[in-house]
């Protein structure tokens, strides 16, 4: 094989440190390379490995977008065709060949290769990039590699990290003689970045907060920000929303030296909105501004534009609107200014409501600093944060590792699917809580994802295998699996329900200090969708309304409609997004169930599918509490009907539910939340027989009073069926044998 000519860009810190790095790799099995973003870790390390004679290098990235762009970049630097010496593997696409020595891939792909190649023998070098992100995949890989390294003495492992706590990786990979793995620090030249705080005039922010933040208290911001914003925009009011704030920040930067702007936003939808607004704001401008979005679902060609020279004549500047992919994994060239909305979509499991969500959250201080640091790569720069300094100070220092933010049920499920064996013995960087692990097994057994044969290792069932491929709360995944089995019409109805449950409620209730008339209006608006037997069907009604309106109205009219109907527009869009993702994940098998019928599917079938994920979240009405509440005269304080739930809990239906006044005999709830009392939210009436059918062996049957019945001419008895301690069928006659 002809060797490529390897040249290192002289300006990169990694190039300067390459002898030191090469020596460390030669002498140690595990090496940690820490350095500021943009110092050349990602693009230069594989070349150093190549020069060391490594033949089969796996180079992992947390995101597909990064894996592909970096492969292109490395191929370009080595003057080779992509797919030849340098290739990449991501879900759905491969660009590798027998000649490939450097393979970029997502960390998920490498994890999957363990199935077929337990010791990852196809590689002699593994680079785990962006390890500081501590995604679940990175933690799985680092745990697994820790375990197999003694069996693969020839394997080299290189872990790269932004300058965030590289010591934790070094300590995890302590060698047999007690030495932690060496850390090579590559310090890059960086220039000072001036931080300016420009919080939104958010109604939620207290006046002191906005004032303190706006003036950049305690920080030599150089000028009084609030005044400068206003002096240039005499007619404009202070921006109330993110999009307005971004345009205002760009106007502020118009008075600064030329240079491109990188804007950090939480997701694709926000990027599209901001792009529209920025283009609009600069449409009639004499010197044009080029707006470039950068997020995962863009086409490769669109992503590419960010790394190419602009073709626009007389361009004033570029404005790149990016998700946190540009925070550490991709370096957008030419950036002098950063505008940081301060948020990201962070996957998070709520132990309280037991739901995995992808809420937009404030990023950590470390992330915010990474973001602003992007402005100081080539010369001194400015970062405008669209939040207050107080807000910054209150943020956590680091983002928690994903393993602490994920439902352990998902973690256990993935470990079983990867064949990692006993979770309590796995060498995690951060081990999960052991009580949590037990609860995770309970849940997985409940939804039929895991078999726990006595005395042997837990096994994934077929349903479990399907669920493990679905990146969402296992309960919700179970609902979709069941819906797909029931047929495509049921799946079509259940998908928006599951999407709706995965996000925060789009219905907004005005706060308690809002005028009564406003609160009544919101209630009236929301009441239009209520189905008195099922809050899930209420969601479907709301969904249908939103879809129709979205089709009919333009995007700004739709946004106004949402506001006037007390529906949160950002969450509505999130609902649409999640729905679209779920649709690509689950398809009903063509032959399954009844043929798709016109109109709405059988509501019972929809509810049975939902119940498949909620077996331990059912309740049977406690008659004593029900009768009191029914007998009470009008106007008197009603006693609230209570339900007996699984494992001895008692709950009542949440006041916002459409079933609140109905008190059906048996219910299921999507969430059981403890506040001042225990409430079930998003509830529907069920037939307990459905639960019995779905529960299989989990349902316990107890036979009493066996006797001979003359009428039946048979031995009969009574049977009680319980599920997690809930009497779902209190007494039913069973017949043993008939004698002719």
Residue 303 interface partner, choices Mg ion, ligand CDP, none, CB cut-off 5-8 Å depending on type: none
Token output for 649: 């809990």
43 binds, among Mg ion, ligand CDP, none (CB under 5 to 8 A by kind): ligand CDP
Nearer to ligand CDP, 41 or 608 (CB): 41
CB of 193 to ligand CDP, least distance (A): 16
Cα three-residue angle 469-58-49, rounded to 5 degrees = 165
Residues in touch with ligand CDP (CB under 6 A)? 12, 35, 37-44, 69, 73, 307, 331, 333
Nearest distance from C-beta of residue 186 to Mg ion, angstroms: 11
Q: In the stretch 24-43, what mask flags binding to Mg ion with x, by CB under 5 A?
A: -----------------xx-
State the nearest-atom distance from the C-beta of 43 to ligand CDP, in Å: 3
In this structure, the strands spanning 343-345 and 360-362 are antiparallel
Query: Measured from the CB atom, is 18 or 41 closer to Mg ion?
Result: 41
C-alpha to C-alpha distance for 132 and 160, rounded to whole angstroms: 8
Binding string, residues 39-78; x marks residues near Mg ion by CB under 5 A: --xx------------------------------------
The label of the residue with tokens 């990039």 reads 129
Residue 514 Cβ vs ligand CDP, minimum distance, rounded to whole Å: 47
**CA torsion sign, 160 to 164 to 168 to 171?**
positive
**Cα 384 to Cα 249: distance, rounded to the nearest angstrom:** 7
CB 72 to Mg ion: min, Å: 14
Rounded CA separation 351/449 (Å) = 20
By beta-carbon proximity to ligand CDP, the closer residue of 73 and 607 is: 73
Which is closer to Mg ion, CB of 133 or CB of 389?
Answer: 133
Least Å distance between CB 443 and ligand CDP? 39
Distance CA 461, CA 653 (A): 34
Distance of closest approach, residue 290 Cβ to ligand CDP, in angstroms = 17
729 beta partners: 721
Instruction: Record the tokens describing residue 346, joined without a space.
Output: 């962070």
Q: Which one, 307 or 398, has the nearer CB to ligand CDP?
A: 307
Angle between helix 434-446 and 408-418 (nearest 10):
80
Cβ pair 37, 193 in contact under 8 A: no
In angstroms, what is the minimal distance from the CB of 307 to ligand CDP?
5
N-term to C-term CA, the chain: 87
Given the complex with Mg ion, which of 128 and 572 has the nearer CB atom? 128
CA distance 683 to 668: 6
3: closest CA among 59, 85, 76, 74? 85
Select the binding partner of residue 370 from ligand CDP, Mg ion, none (C-beta < 5 to 8 A, by kind): none
388 binds, among Mg ion, ligand CDP, none (CB under 5 to 8 A by kind): none
Report the residue number, 290 or 574, with the smaller CB distance to ligand CDP. Answer: 290
Please choose which of ligand CDP, Mg ion, none residue 8 contacts, taking the beta carbon within 5 to 8 angstroms, the exact cut-off set by kind: none
In eight-state DSSP terms, residue 151 is G
Closest CA to 13 of 131, 189, 162: 189
Q: How many CA atoms lie within 13 A of 639 on its CB side?
A: 14
Nearer to ligand CDP, 73 or 526 (CB): 73
Judged by DSSP in three states, 715 sits in: strand
Binding partner of residue 333 among ligand CDP, Mg ion, none, CB cut-off 5 to 8 Å per kind: ligand CDP
User: Judged by CB, which is closer to Mg ion: 62, or 688?
Assistant: 62
Cβ-proximal residues to 298 (8 Å cutoff; 6+ apart), any chain: 65
**Cβ proximity of 15 and 40 under 8 Å:** yes
Nearer to ligand CDP (CB atom), residue 68 or residue 385: 68
**Nearest distance in Å: CB 292, ligand CDP:** 14
CB of 129 to Mg ion, least distance (A): 6
Question: CA nearest 463: which of 476, 447, 440?
Answer: 447
Nearer to ligand CDP among residue 35 and residue 266 (C-beta): 35
CA distance 338 to 262: 5
Q: Which of the listed partners (Mg ion, ligand CDP, none) does 374 bind, with a CB threshold of 5 to 8 Å by partner kind? A: none
Q: CB of residue 376 vs ligand CDP: minimum separation in angstroms? A: 13
| Of 41 and 198, CB closest to Mg ion | 41
| Residue 40 partner contact from ligand CDP, Mg ion, none using kind-dependent CB cut-offs of 5 to 8 Å | ligand CDP
Q: Which residues pair with residue 35 across a beta bridge?
A: 186
d(CA 649, CA 717) in angstroms, rounded, equals 29
In 204-267, alpha helices (H) = 207-214, 225-232, 242-254
Q: How far apart are CA 328 and CA 355, in angstroms?
A: 29
Residue 12 Cβ, how far from ligand CDP at the closest point, in Å?
6
Binding site for Mg ion (CB under 5 A): 41-42
């Amino acid at each position: 094989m002809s060797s490529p000519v390897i040249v290192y860009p002289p300006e990169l810190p990694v190039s300067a440190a390459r002898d030191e790095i090469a020596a460390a790799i030669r002498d140690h099995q595990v090496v940690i390379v820490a350095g500021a973003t943009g110092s050349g870790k990602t693009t230069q390390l594989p070349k150093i490995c190549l020069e060391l004679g490594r033949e089969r290098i796996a180079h992992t990235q947390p995101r597909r977008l990064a894996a592909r762009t970096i492969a292109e970049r490395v191929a370009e630097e080595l003057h080779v065709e992509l797919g030849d010496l340098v290739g990449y593997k991501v879900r759905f696409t491969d660009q590798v060949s027998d000649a490939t020595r450097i393979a970029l891939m997502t960390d998920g792909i490498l994890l999957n290769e363990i199935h077929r190649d337990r010791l990852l023998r196809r590689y002699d070098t593994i680079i785990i990039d962006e390890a500081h992100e501590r995604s679940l995949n990175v933690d799985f890989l680092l745990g697994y590699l820790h375990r197999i390294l003694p069996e693969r003495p020839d394997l080299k492992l290189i872990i790269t990290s932004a300058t965030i706590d590289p010591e934790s990786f070094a300590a995890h990979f302590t060698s047999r003689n007690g030495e932690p793995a060496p850390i090579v620090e590559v310090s890059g030249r960086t220039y000072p970045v001036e931080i300016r705080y420009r919080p939104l005039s958010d109604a939620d922010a207290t006046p002191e907060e906005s004032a303190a933040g706006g003036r950049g208290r305690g920080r030599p911001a150089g000028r009084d920000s609030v005044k400068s914003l206003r002096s240039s925009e005499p007619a404009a009011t202070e921006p109330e929303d993110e999009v307005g704030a971004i345009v205002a920040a760009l106007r502020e930067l118009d008075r600064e030296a030329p240079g491109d702007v990188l804007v950090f936003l939480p997701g694709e939808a926000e990027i599209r909105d901001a792009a529209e607004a920025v283009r609009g704001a600069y449409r009639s401008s004499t010197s044009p501004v080029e707006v470039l979005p950068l997020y995962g679902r863009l086409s490769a060609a669109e992503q590419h534009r960010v790394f190419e020279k602009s073709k626009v004549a007389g361009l004033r500047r570029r404005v790149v609107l990016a998700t946190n992919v540009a925070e550490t994994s991709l370096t957008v060239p030419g950036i002098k200014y950063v505008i940081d909305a301060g948020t990201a979509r962070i996957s998070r499991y709520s132990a309280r409501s037991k739901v995995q969500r992808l809420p937009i959250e404030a990023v950590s201080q470390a992330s915010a600093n990474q973001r602003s640091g992007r402005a100081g790569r080539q010369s001194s720069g400015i970062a405008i944060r669209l939040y207050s300094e107080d807000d910054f100070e209150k943020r956590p220092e680091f983002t928690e590792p994903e393993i602490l933010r994920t439902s352990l049920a998902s973690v256990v499920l993935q470990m079983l699917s990867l064949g990692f064996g006993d979770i309590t013995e796995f060498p995690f960087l951060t081990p999960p809580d052991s009580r949590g692990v037990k609860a995770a097994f309970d849940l997985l057994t409940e939804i039929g994802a895991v078999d726990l044969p006595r005395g042997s290792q837990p096994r994934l069932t077929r349903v479990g295998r399907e669920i493990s491929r679905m990146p969402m709360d296992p309960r919700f995944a179970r609902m979709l699996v069941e819906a797909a089995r029931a047929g495509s019409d049921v799946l079509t109805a259940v998908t928006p329900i599951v999407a709706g449950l995965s996000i925060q409620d789009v219905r907004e209730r005005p706060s308690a200090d809002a005028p009564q008339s406003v609160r009544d209006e919101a209630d009236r608006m929301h009441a239009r969708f209520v189905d008195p037997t099922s809050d899930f069907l209420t969601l479907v009604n709301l969904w249908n309304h939103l879809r129709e309106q979205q089709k009919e109205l333009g995007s700004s009219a739709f946004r106004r409609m949402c506001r006037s109907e007390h529906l949160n527009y950002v969450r509505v869009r999130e609902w649409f997004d999640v729905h679209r993702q779920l649709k690509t994940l689950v398809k009903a098998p063509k032959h399954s169930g009844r043929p798709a019928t016109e109109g709405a599917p059988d509501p019972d079938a929809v509810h049975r599918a939902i119940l498949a994920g909620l077996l331990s979240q059912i309740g049977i009405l406690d008659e004593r509490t029900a009768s009191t509440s029914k007998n009470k005269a009008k106007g008197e304080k009603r006693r609230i009907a209570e339900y007996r739930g699984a494992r001895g809990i008692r709950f009542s239906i949440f006041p916002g539910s459409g079933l609140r006044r109905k008190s059906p005999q048996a219910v299921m709830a999507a969430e059981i939340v403890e506040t001042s009392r225990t409430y079930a939210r998003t509830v529907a009436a069920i037939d307990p027989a459905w639960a019995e059918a779905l529960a299989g062996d989990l349902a316990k049957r107890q036979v009493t009073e066996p006797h001979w019945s003359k009428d039946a001419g048979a031995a009969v008895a009574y049977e009680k069926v319980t599920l997690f301690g809930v009497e779902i069928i209190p007494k039913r006659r069973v017949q043993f044998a008939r004698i002719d």
